[in-house]
Each structure stands twice: as C-alpha cells, then as structure tokens.
Structure 1
Amino acid sequence: MTKALISVTGLDSTGIIARVATKLSEMNINILDITQTILGGYFTMMMVVDLDGAHLRFEEIDRELQPVRDELKMTIHMQRMDIFDAMHRI
C-alpha cells in the first residue's frame, strides 16, 4: 500500500474537511486515518491516505490539490509516508 501524509493548516472556516475529502475522493484516494483540531482560530488537520487507487502520480496528485489550496486559502502539504517514517526513525 502506498501511503501519504497530508497536513492542512490555516484560518478556520466552514467546510474544510468536506472540501479536502471531496477532492481526494474524486481522485479515488482513500482516507485511512484523520485527526483535526482548532487552535486559537487556526484549523489543523492531518490525514493518512492510501494512494493505490489513484491513477495519478504523486506529483500530479499534489498539483490537483492546488485549486483547493487557493479556494480555502490553506496550506496543504503532502509527503510520502515511507519518507516520513524514515525521517522519524533516525
């Protein structure tokens, strides 16, 4: 299974989870785990997703998230889970 970690941060507003989840669903990306919180008016969310169903390369998926970044005025960062895991084992 090819996993990625997606983080979403920015000012809180209605519909952030729905918008990000909808875009991932459109690309056939499954959300495996999700956590979110609001800290002092700032929304933060981390998602572990399964990329195996997507018919796009990692870079293309990241590019497809750009309109969502722009629309929500949020920072959305995606990184490969294997690299994330390796960084935290050192």
Structure 2
Amino acid sequence: MKAVVTVVGQDKTGIVAGIANELAAYGVNILDLSQTIMSKTFTMSMLVELGGEDSFNELHAALKEKGTKMGVAVHVQREEIFEAMSRI
C-alpha cells in the first residue's frame, strides 16, 4: 500500500532525518521525496510504501506524534484517496 506524507513547518536541522527514521522504524520504504524551503518554511512531500494496510493507522499516529515533538505539521494520506481528491 502506498501513502503520501507531507510535512510543513519552520525550517530547522533534522526534519528529514527525524521523519525518515520514524518511517524506517515501521519498515516503510520511501519511493519519492521532494523538499524545499520557502522563505523560512520547510515543506516536504513523500510517496512511501507500507508493508500492509493494517499498519497505516499506527504509522499515521506515530508520524503525527513525531511531528508534534519536532514542531512541524505532518499529514499522511492513502495514495488512492490523495489521487481521488486531486481529481475533484
């Protein structure tokens, strides 16, 4: 199963590493990643592949918690829902 992870917040050292380490802890593979800094705002979008659907909710909660600790907003969405919403 694939998902889209977006991260937005004040730029600081360690955001990519923190999110990537959390993904690795859940055995998630990063398929594609794009990140940029607009003024002082960090933005990152990732396409990731999970081992199974049953781990989505657990991963979602863990990334939200990690984002809160790091001071960034993390949003996780199943790829099919992300694509459906972009067609509307």
Work out whether the TM-score is over 0.5.
yes
Q: Which residue of 2 aligns with 1:74?
A: 72
Q: Which residue of 1 aligns with 2:5?
A: 6
Distance across 2 between alignment mates of 1:57 and 1:25: 13
Q: Report the Cα offset of residue 55 of structure 1.
A: 8.2
- After superposition, where does 1:1-80 map in structure 2 within 5 Å? 2-52=1-51, 56-80=54-78
Q: Moved runs in structure 1, 4+ residues, more than 3 A?
A: none
Query: How does the TM-score come out when normalised to structure 1?
Result: 0.89
SS of 1:57's partner is helix
Distance across 2 between alignment mates of 1:55 and 1:87: 19
Q: Report the Cα offset of residue 89 of structure 1.
A: 2.8
Tell me, which stretches of 5 or more residues in structure 2 are unaligned?
A: none
Q: Report the Cα offset of residue 62 of structure 1.
A: 0.9
Distance across 1 between alignment mates of 2:53 and 2:76: 17
Q: Report the Cα offset of residue 88 of structure 1.
A: 2.1
Distance across 1 between alignment mates of 2:69 and 2:20: 14
CA RMSD of aligned residues (A): 1.5
Aligned residues: 88
Query: How does the TM-score come out when normalised to structure 2?
Result: 0.91
Structure with higher helix content: 2
